[in-house]
């Protein structure tokens, strides 16, 4: 019984991961297509990177201590960090000093 719950938790966790990552990829795509990152604030980028680092470290420790059931949270936060680093690059590249 416990094993089926662990599989269910992993599947739901990775579905949530796909949803979160997809939403940020959609935002990056919009920035890339429009060549305008003015709709994204530095506060959002910096705070999201810091939050994802903290949550990623926490998830990594939980994977180490409790096992694989925390893996979706680790993967999500690592990918979010990477996406926001890309967003930071785009914010600098598509800066519109008007």
pLDDT at 79: 94
Residue 81 has pLDDT above 80, yes or no: yes
Task: Decide if pLDDT at 71 tops 80.
Answer: yes
* Biggest distance spanned by C-alpha atoms of the chain: 60
Percent of the chain with pLDDT over 90: 65
Q: What is the mean pLDDT of residues 7-31?
A: 92
- Helices 2-34, 71-93: inter-axial angle, 10-degree rounding: 10
Mean pLDDT score, 78-96 = 90
Q: pTM to 2 decimals?
A: 0.85
39-43-47-49 Cα dihedral, nearest 10 degrees: 60
């Amino acid at each position: 019984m416990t094993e089926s719950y662990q599989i269910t938790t992993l599947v739901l966790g990775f579905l949530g991961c796909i949803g979160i990552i997809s939403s940020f990829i959609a935002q990056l795509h919009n920035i890339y297509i429009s060549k305008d990152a003015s709709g994204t604030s530095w506060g959002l980028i910096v705070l999201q990177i810091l939050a994802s680092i903290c949550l990623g470290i926490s998830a990594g420790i939980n994977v180490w201590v409790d096992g694989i059931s925390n893996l979706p949270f680790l993967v999500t936060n690592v990918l979010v960090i990477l996406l926001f680093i890309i967003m930071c690059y785009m914010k600098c590249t598509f800066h519109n000093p008007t």
